[in-house]
Chain A
Amino acid sequence: MSKEQLSLAVQLPELTLRNPIILASGILGHSAEVFERIYENGAAAVIGKSVSLLPRDAYKPPVVVEVPCGMLNAVGLGNPGAEAFAEEVKKLSVKKIPVFPSMFGSDPEDFEKMTVMFDSAGATAFELNLSCPHVKGVGTEVGQDPELVGEIVAAVRRHTSKAIFAKVSPESETILRTVKAAERAGATGITATNTIRAISIDVESGLPILSNRYGGLSGEALHPIALRCVYEIAEHTRIPIIGCGGIADWRTAVEFILAGASAVQVGTVLSNKPLGVINEILEGIRQYMERKGYGRISDFVGLAHRQ
């Protein structure tokens, strides 16, 4: 396989990516300039920090805790509101940097309003946060209600023809029902997974460390769990999947692709490695593909399901 024949590009319905690595939601905030820097460091697209229709303050620190096997966060879905973030989307769209706004809420009407704003601002695609584990009423509770998921996805689909990805929780017993509901309502694909609900206690003070007490676990420990979710979803449906959870190097990224993901997201790794890690992962994937004789990412998506 010559270098010229190999391509890292990913082709999904309504979406083309220059490579399979996307910046995960909630990482590195809401500024177009910071996103541009991530794009310049190799990411194919950036997903915005989840936004609601109206602004929301982040929680008071401590909002992150490093644990031996990853990271807990309860930043609190702080965001400047859809209108303000649409301005950042416009800036990125002008520079042709693919950006997917991530939206959360519990009212389909809110999602409709946000979709209209972002679609006209030049969003490349959409991600729906139906799975935040540390904010009441707008995260996992939504994701665990397949009927509401269907209503929200349908509401978004009414106002855009671009790709829509529903981001699911790793701990929902109803994960497959949620996936089916999203698919039926017009979602392009599924992002699996969000963080998992967790806690960390400081033994000297005897208190939970996060100001919100509960947070979402990401990083190393999440990887086998998120990977299992992708594998399971791929067993039961043909809908495109974006894998997310604990990717730190090319192997942990390739695992997701073999499990059935067409693309992957990185997040936590950027807090403990320099931004160059994105290109390192891409290079690792490229070398793996050369070794195995794959010309396209799609050549090995889901191969781990072979009998």
Chain B
Amino acid sequence: MLDSHTANRLRAVRIAEVKNERGSVRSLYFMDEFASQGLPGNFIMVWVPGVEELPMNLSRIEKTYQSVTVWAYSTGTSALCNMEEGDTIWIRGPYGVPYSIQGEKNLLIGSGSGLAPLFALAKKMNAEKLSATFVLQAKNKEGLIFKEELSEFCNVVAVTSDGSEGTKGYASHIAGTLIARHDFDVIYAGLGEIEQKKIFEYAAKKLIPVQFGLERLMLCAIGLCGSCSIGKYLVCKDGPVMKTEQIRESFQEFGVFRRNRSGAIVPVKEY
């Protein structure tokens, strides 16, 4: 039985393996009892002593191993990317509302850090013999993380903005075509919010429920500081996976603005 007080304490775990995904993206494998009971969409807080504590989605969730997948874009993520087998990270959690499986025909659309939880979700859907089409978006071929593994059990549609691999274009555009052509039961998306907003509209036109992985500045992860707010919701407690109604209620902010480290309102960037 997961005890939330114990789950909230930072615990040292050994990095059992480091996998180079594509480009400079790396996955850190470890074994943690709480994380092993996590679900796709859950995140953990990962502490690198002396550096930073960061929110990371679980990318693999198995009984005997779990992983987080790291893109180096900051001091903290670079420190994680430089870790080797045998090193220690400290983790707490898992936290957040996970993705939930609701139908048989699923469309998953992911890019960047949004890919990690969707990868875990696609694996779970496969284990439950459900179909999944996965639109995998990146700037270039280096960013098509998990493509090989996903192709083993998903219909993968690779999309790069520079056309270096797969279809040249943007996820929202490709997704729009797929949504119009097929009858998906649920649409899952984890990618830039401005792109997510376009996908939301396509889904809404056909009344298809959505579950989107949202990202906001994460400081406490336990619903105390309010830094991760979107509308009246907290990404750490009411998300990171949010459903159609919640997104609709937050529409003024969704894809438009977020709050920075001082809590000031700043625009959501297109990337």
Contacts and interface: CB of A to CB of B under 8 A. Distances in A.
Given A33-B232, A61-B219, A207 B54 contact: no
27 contacts: A27-B225, A27-B226, A28-B224, A28-B225, A30-B259, A34-B232, A36-B232, A57-B260, A58-B219, A58-B262, A60-B52, A61-B52, A62-B47, A62-B53, A63-B225, A64-B220, A64-B221, A66-B8, A66-B222, A73-B224, A78-B263, A79-B262, A80-B264, A84-B265, A204-B12, A205-B12, A205-B88
A268 B224 contact: yes
Given A26-B225, A31-B226, A61-B219, 17 more contacts: A27-B226, A29-B263, A31-B232, A33-B231, A36-B232, A37-B232, A57-B260, A57-B262, A58-B219, A61-B218, A63-B220, A64-B225, A66-B9, A80-B263, A84-B265, A204-B12, A207-B49
A84 B265 CA distance: 9
Contacts of A64: 219-222, 224-225
Interface in B84-101: 88, 90
Contacts of A28: 223-226, 229, 234
B205 interface: no
Given A73-B224, A204-B90, A61 B45 contact: yes
A30 B263 contact: yes
Contacts of A135: none
Interface string A54-74: 011110111111101001010
B226 A209 contact: no
A248 to B, nearest CB: 13
B90 A205 contact: yes
A34 B226 contact: yes
Interface centre among A56, A61, A270 (most CB of B within 10 A): A61
Nearest to B54: A61
Interface in A260-307: 267-268, 270-272
A29 B227 contact: yes
A209 B234 contact: no
Contacts of B50: 207
A55 to B, nearest CB: 4
B10 A202 contact: yes
Given A55-B262, A211-B52, A272 B4 contact: yes
B224 to A, nearest CB: 4
Main secondary structure of the interface of B (DSSP, over half): loop
Interface centre among A66, A80, A81 (most CB of B within 10 A): A66
A221 to B, nearest CB: 14
A87 to B, nearest CB: 9
B90 A81 contact: no
A75 interface: yes
Contacts, number: 126
A36 B234 CA distance: 13
A292 B90 CA distance: 50
Interface centre among B4, B8, B50, B226 (most CB of A within 10 A): B226
Interface string B243-262: 00000000000000001111
A49 interface: yes
Contacts of A73: 220, 224-225
Given A64-B220, A66-B9, A211-B52, A75 B225 contact: yes
A81 B261 CA distance: 12
Contacts of A271: 220, 222-224
B182 interface: no
Given A31-B229, A78-B263, A204-B12, A61 B53 contact: yes
A294 to B, nearest CB: 33
Interface in B58-103: 88, 90
Interface string A8-41: 0000000000000000001111110110110000
Interface string A217-230: 00000000000000
Contacts of B181: none
Given A28-B223, A63-B220, A205-B12, A58 B261 contact: yes
Contacts of B129: none
Contacts of A29: 225-227, 229, 263
Contacts of A65: 10
A255 B102 CA distance: 47
Contacts of B234: 28, 34
A29 B88 CA distance: 33
A60 B224 CA distance: 15
A68 B10 CA distance: 12
